[in-house]
Chains A and B, each alone.
Chain A
Amino acid sequence: MLSRVAENLFWIARYIERAESTARLLDVNYYATLEGGNLVQEQWSPLLVITGGEDAFREQHARADAKSVPFWLAFDLYNPSSIRSTLTQARENARALRERISSEMWECINKAYHELCFDTDAVLQNDALHDYCNRVRDTSHLFFGTALSTLLRDEGWQFLRLGQLIERADNLLRILQVRYQKTGTSEIAEALENHRWMALLKTVSAYEAYRKRYHTRLEPQNIAEFLLLDSTFPRSVIYAIEGIRDSLKKLPNAQKIQKETNWLLARLEHSQVHEILSKDALEEILEDVNDVGAMVQSTYFHLNA
């Protein structure tokens, strides 16, 4: 398979997964702030930390509030990770390999581009953010679902999976990093804490699944365990790493990356969740995930003649 095509598939998956991840984050937080009143006004800054690019945000916007942050995360073309930017990028990438992906996959992303990347001013004005975020999420599901049933299971499929899973693990780890930073802020009411953990779970579509798994109250440590180490939950970190391992098995010349991935997986499998949370291991895991991403790039995409 052409290196350029492999790289494009990898990135198209990352962009779409990122668009979905941002849409979830935004959707849940936007509506969570409505109920919490003034107490949750400081909910907006963490979103910038999670998605990165806080400095770039400050250059464009004076304050992080309920107007500027949603605009930045969803529509601002100055933000390379905004939903609009990532969908546009994904569509550009898809256009460059439209002969390679199935026509259904192309149509899905092309249609989303036309419907979600233009005339976006009206979305916030008309209180249509929830609907918008849902459509972004649906696009991602439709795209990957279509890939699941139409794309040849050749190398291209593996690169698409790698991109999706690396991005998914990366996004979740960033969210966890921020959410588990400040513990013991005792002045905040318990109800609010509960509200926040619920928001976290909903952000990664884990609320219902968590409830089925743990029949207790929203316990931060259980939540972390579920999101990090439960390999039956398809958006957990360990599920993503296992998927990365499986995809690498199907690719040539992957020994080095496989070693790195297996090592990461072994550490996760043999860790207790409190160890990960207490020893700042989240940062380490995030770095390792990104190392795997970098190794995929250097092994397959940037070879010289």
Chain B
Amino acid sequence: MFDHYNPTGFFDEMYDSNNQARVHYQRILERMNGIPKPEFERRRAASDLTFRNQGITFTVYGDSQGTERTFPFDPVPRIIPAAEWAHLERGLTQRVLALNAFLRDIYGEQAILRDNVMPRELVISCSNFRREVFGLKLPLGVYTHIVGSDLVRNERGEYLVLEDNLRTPSGVSYVLANRTALTRTLPGLFAGMNVRPVQHYTTLLLEMLQSLSPRENPTVVVLTPGMYNSAYFEHAFLAQQMGVELVEGRDLFVADNRVWMRTTTGRAQVDVIYRRLDDDFLDPVAFRADSALGVPGLLEVYRQGRVALANAVGAGVADDKAVYAYVPKMIEYYLGEKPILGNVPTLLGWDKDHLEQMLAKPAELVFKAVGEAGGYGMLVGPASTNAEITAYLENVRVNPRNYIAQPVIPLSRHPTYYPDSGKMEACHIDLRPYILCGEKVNIIPGGLTRVALKRGSLVVNSSQGGGSKDTWVLEDDTSSSPTQGGT
């Protein structure tokens, strides 16, 4: 299957520049080559069917069928050596500590603005900046409890942070589902590899959520927009795994300055809400009046500290794609440290000089709308026609604050099995680790490796035809090399 695999042109995760398999991949490569192709194909098809039967799906918006799709799962695991992961773990911990410090500051003293480290106007003009929570004291002082920062590797294999997702990052359920799927499909790959486990995520998540409660023996719930939301599977999965109720806005109401849920025996008080709903939709009294998904009066109870929300209202100001450019400065400002993980160089439409550069060479850049996620509102310059670029730049000129541009990062690639060709082909990948922030920072080893399955594409989002892989972090870096003869 690996015959004719071409690792050249980009940084390849499995092969080095001399076309030799990297040490940490040698053992599984040997094992995969030992599986006859028809057998491999049979197992892969069986795992596809399992995903369908289990309903591990996401909903595609704007698809007239309104249908759910399974998130394609590639059985070739991505492997991260222990030392490399330790570096990522340090860098991510540093980053979320700084981001939380920033949020505390912005909704409090605003020292970073006073000291002119960041321009006030840029922060205040963020669509996700919420005046409503200014001055609030939050449990543990944490604003963004569940973080999914997207990492990519450039042509030198260097990890960079592409963006931070601080509001309602999704995908962690696929991390757990992929691991289960691979252990069933190719159990032989795991033997002796010391792959660090991930299934304890939901326990850590529940403990973190409970730690935010204003009362003893808290009632925690997961708030979902409902089953037509693209990530509904994940909401249901997390609620089930934590053993807490999955609620919709209509199940909750506010009375006597508390939040309650409607039950068959009357009302029951709710203490912590893991909400998978954007700020805008949380409370029609405080935010969008036309939201039918939220709970009227919720924000007032939240302000009084009688219910905790994860993530906090207003956390989105720190994952605005323009604010992102300042995260390295935040790290230096709040922690007095050098950033361990770098950013992708970013041009801000907000800045006159930057805007000029953006408009001058759009075909070489990737444009992004600052408040969007999921690959929506993006333009990949080199892959777009002149007409598409012209149309997009219209919007940039009308509202430059709303756009940023970055050079095209030549994302690293990873061998991925294509059922249509029956071969391994090189696909661009990224990595989204999941970081929990409560009393301390906890990161489950690895995260979600997303794969751009459309041949040649750099866009890994599930909504844009991406797939995913199981991601292994090794316990130590000695167990992965190929079996040695003798002892």
A residues near B (Cβ < 8 Å) are: 1-6, 92, 95-100, 103, 106-107, 110-111, 114, 155, 251-253, 300, 303, 305
Contacts and interface: CB of A to CB of B under 8 A. Distances in A.
A110 B55 contact: yes
B454 interface: no
Contact of B253 (A1, A100, A252, A305): A305
A252 B262 contact: no
B247 interface: yes
A98 B52 CA distance: 14
A128 B400 CA distance: 62
Nearest to A101: B240
Given A110-B53, A114-B52, A305-B253, A3 B236 contact: no
A2 B236 contact: no
B267 A305 contact: yes
A2 B55 contact: no
B263 A2 contact: yes
Most buried by A among B240, B251, B255: B240
Q: Considering the complex of A and B, which 9 residue pairs feature the smallest CB-CB distances, nearest first?
A: A99-B240, A99-B236, A99-B239, A110-B55, A305-B253, A98-B236, A300-B264, A111-B53, A99-B246
Contacts of B266: 303
A255 to B, nearest CB: 14
B265 interface: yes
Given A95-B227, A253-B265, A300-B264, A4 B248 contact: yes
A155 B264 contact: yes
Contacts of B52: 114
A3 B262 contact: yes
8 contacts: A1-B265, A2-B247, A2-B251, A2-B264, A4-B248, A6-B264, A106-B55, A107-B53
Interface string B251-264: 10101000011111
A98 B251 contact: no
Contacts of A106: 54-55
B53 A114 contact: yes
Contacts of A6: 264
A210 B266 CA distance: 45
B105 interface: no
A305 to B, nearest CB: 5
A4 B253 contact: no
B473 to A, nearest CB: 27
Interface of B: 52-55, 226-227, 232-233, 235-237, 239-240, 245-248, 250-251, 253, 255, 260-267
A305 B54 contact: no
B264 A1 contact: yes
Nearest to A94: B55
Given A2-B251, A95-B227, A103-B54, 18 more contacts: A1-B263, A1-B264, A2-B261, A2-B263, A3-B264, A4-B248, A96-B227, A97-B236, A98-B233, A98-B236, A98-B240, A99-B235, A99-B239, A99-B246, A100-B246, A114-B52, A303-B266, A305-B253
A155 B268 CA distance: 15
A300 B263 CA distance: 8
Nearest to A110: B55
A4 B250 contact: yes
A305 B262 contact: yes
A107 B55 CA distance: 7
B265 A252 contact: yes
A3 B263 contact: yes
Contacts, number: 67
A92 B232 CA distance: 12
Contacts of B247: 2
Contacts of A253: 265
A250 B226 CA distance: 30
A258 B148 CA distance: 52
A2 B227 contact: no
Contacts of B236: 95, 97-99
A114 B232 CA distance: 18
A143 to B, nearest CB: 14
Given A96-B227, A155-B264, A305-B262, A2 B245 contact: yes
Most buried by A among B233, B248, B264: B264
A106 to B, nearest CB: 7
A2 B262 contact: yes
Nearest to B245: A2
A4 B264 CA distance: 9
A97 to B, nearest CB: 8
Contacts of B237: 99
Contacts of B246: 97, 99-100
Contacts of B240: 98-100, 103
A223 to B, nearest CB: 39
Nearest to B237: A99
B54 A107 contact: yes
Nearest to B233: A98
A100 B235 CA distance: 12
A103 B54 CA distance: 8
A70 to B, nearest CB: 27
Contacts of A100: 240, 246
A296 B457 CA distance: 55
Contacts of B226: 96
Nearest to A114: B52
A4 B253 CA distance: 14
A110 B262 contact: no
A282 to B, nearest CB: 32
Contacts of B253: 305
A303 B55 contact: no
A54 B77 CA distance: 56
Contacts of A114: 52-53
Contacts of B251: 2-4
A97 B240 CA distance: 10
Contacts of B263: 1-3
Contacts of A155: 264
Contact of B54 (A3, A4, A99, A110): A110
Contacts of B55: 95, 98, 106-107, 110
Contacts of B245: 2, 5
Nearest to A155: B264
B54 A92 contact: no
A27 B308 CA distance: 55
Contact of A305 (B53, B255, B264): B255
Contacts of A1: 263-265
A253 B266 CA distance: 10
Most buried by B among A96, A98, A100: A98
Contacts of A96: 226-227
A3 B266 CA distance: 9
A209 to B, nearest CB: 34
A95 B267 CA distance: 24
Contacts of A99: 235-237, 239-240, 246
A264 B233 CA distance: 42
A110 B266 CA distance: 32
Nearest to A102: B240
